[in-house]
Amino acid sequence: MLDDLAGVISPTQFISRLNDKRFENALPAEAELALVWATNRLGGFESEPDWYSPEGRRPEGVSTALFPDKNTVFDVKAVSDRVMPGIVGMRGLSAKLVEAANKARKGSGANLSFFFYERRDYANLKLHRSIYAPPNHVIGGEALARLSGFVRSGPDEYAYVDISDGGMIVRVTWEPGASKLFNYRSSTVNEIFDIDDNYIAAALCEKARQLRSPDFDGLKGVLLADIGSATLKKLNGIDPLGRSASGRQIIQRHLDKPDSGLDFVCVFSPRVEHQIWAQPRSFWQVTAFTQSGLKLPMEGLNALVSQLPEPRFDGYELEHLHEQRLFGEQSRGWYLGSRMISDTTKHEMSATFSTRALHEFLAGRIDGDQLRDSMIGMKAAFEYQLTRGHTISEARIIAGGIDEDDDLIELKFAPDPAASPFENRSIPPR
């Protein structure tokens, strides 16, 4: 995508963010790059026009292909639940509690997991659920002393202590081998209760301000990317009783304001549906919203979606994988699957497996056991070939394609006298 956009837009504005170890910077850059790339492929695209605003605000681009016969300016915004107060609070407080535990007993923080209790309030006859984890909470001395006493006591596995400290209520469990990244949780789903005060509405307000221009009279819109948002993934609402605000309600509410500054919002949510006895189905769930009374043809947006590669993960999976640095350029590779193929007519057998796995083995990054683990079920097949006196006779590389981060090595086997007992091959007399 970066190569395709060379000469259209400077790749430097994407590269530093794509290479950033922080997923909250890398994922939005990935979403922005993909949608700009797809829009450019439709034609009629101008990137970040200087003329758009006398104040220097430049949008993602202007397109004549998104809506036929209409000049359209748009910007991309990627959103995640990670900015919600409860999530921010749990991440920050669990890190502070780990630090405090390590001060009380060296290394003990790595053996702790945290469950933050759910808070339930009623407002306007509706149940509001939140998390006892205020983002800016300062942990008190009594709570720190209780935590210190717990880790110094030599707790048994899964022993726990409940700590209540003002707005924070958390159960701390001794859990050896707990994940450093995912050592906190809560029973509360990430619902939005205030239709006007939330991260999606804030994102739309931000983009509406950015798209203001006295010199542009065409359509204005936002391409909203889900990189871990439960509200965008389930646009019709998380709570079937309707006690919380849905993504559909939040977006339409903004569009219908007299000063909304936007004509449309298009939501792109990656979906992976796992099916019984079949390969997972991957697709983009795309939903367009317009101001009430405004009718826009969807052909251009449908064409935009058709340009995008199929998603590999949904927003939450992608977010967690990025946080673990599993997409880093020096991380362990993503391996294509291995398989054995038998040609019964020629009495031949071939094996294919990951070139990346073999390269990492030769480089010393993985050992022989890990290499064999990447070649599931093939150890016995290789042994069978040797047992019958067949060895590797041919090898070639099969390209995996641009959307695979790996290629395949294909090995073919043939009879080898060096691996077989002596036998009589003379032609018997007639």
Which band of pLDDT confidence, cut at 50, 70 and 90, is reported for residue 119? confident
State CA 34 to chain mean position distance.
14
Half-sphere exposure of 48 (CA within 13 A, CB side): 13
Q: Could you tell me which residue, 393 or 347, shows the higher pLDDT?
A: 393
Give the model's pLDDT for residue 320.
Answer: 85
Give the model's pLDDT for residue 11.
Answer: 85
Give residue-wise pLDDT tens across range 120-165.
877 665 667 789 999 999 999 999 999 999 999 999 999 999 999 9
What residues does 281 pair with on adjacent strands?
A: 273
Which band of pLDDT confidence, cut at 50, 70 and 90, is reported for residue 244? confident
pLDDT averaged over the chain?
Answer: 89
Mean pLDDT in residue range 283-294: 92
Half-sphere exposure of 345 (CA within 13 A, CB side): 0
3-state DSSP call for residue 129?
Answer: strand
Mean pLDDT in residue range 282-294: 92
Q: Could you tell me which residue, 376 or 264, shows the higher pLDDT?
A: 264
Could you give the residue ranges of the DSSP H alpha helices within 153-292?
Answer: 199-210, 230-233, 247-255
Percent of the chain having pLDDT more than 70?
Answer: 98
The secondary structure of the chain in percent helix, strand, coil, rounded to multiples of 5, reads 35, 25, 40
Q: Which residues contact 336 (CB under 8 A, 6 or more apart)?
A: 353, 354, 356, 400, 404, 406, 407, 408
Tokens matching residue 104: 């009380």
Asked if residue 80 has pLDDT above 80, the reply is yes
Mean pLDDT in residue range 357-377: 90
Q: For the chain, first and last CA: distance in Å?
A: 70
Which band of pLDDT confidence, cut at 50, 70 and 90, is reported for residue 204? very high
Taking the C-alpha atoms of residue 185 and residue 168, their distance in angstroms, rounded to an integer, is 13
Taking the C-alpha atoms of residue 130 and residue 219, their distance in angstroms, rounded to an integer, is 38
Q: At which residue do the structure tokens 């036929």 appear?
A: 68
Give the model's pLDDT for residue 53.
Answer: 83
Q: Could you tell me which residue, 243 or 415, shows the higher pLDDT?
A: 415
Give residue-wise pLDDT tens across range 21-75.
888 899 999 999 999 999 999 999 999 888 888 887 889 999 999 998 889 999 9
The backbone torsions φ and ψ at residue 409, rounded to the nearest 5 degrees and listed phi first, read -100, 130
Element (H, E) at 304: helix 299-307
Asked if residue 20 has pLDDT above 70, the reply is yes
Are residues 389 and 416 in contact, defined by beta-carbon separation less than 8 angstroms?
Answer: yes
Asked if residue 378 has pLDDT above 70, the reply is yes
The backbone torsions φ and ψ at residue 99, rounded to the nearest 5 degrees and listed phi first, read -60, -45
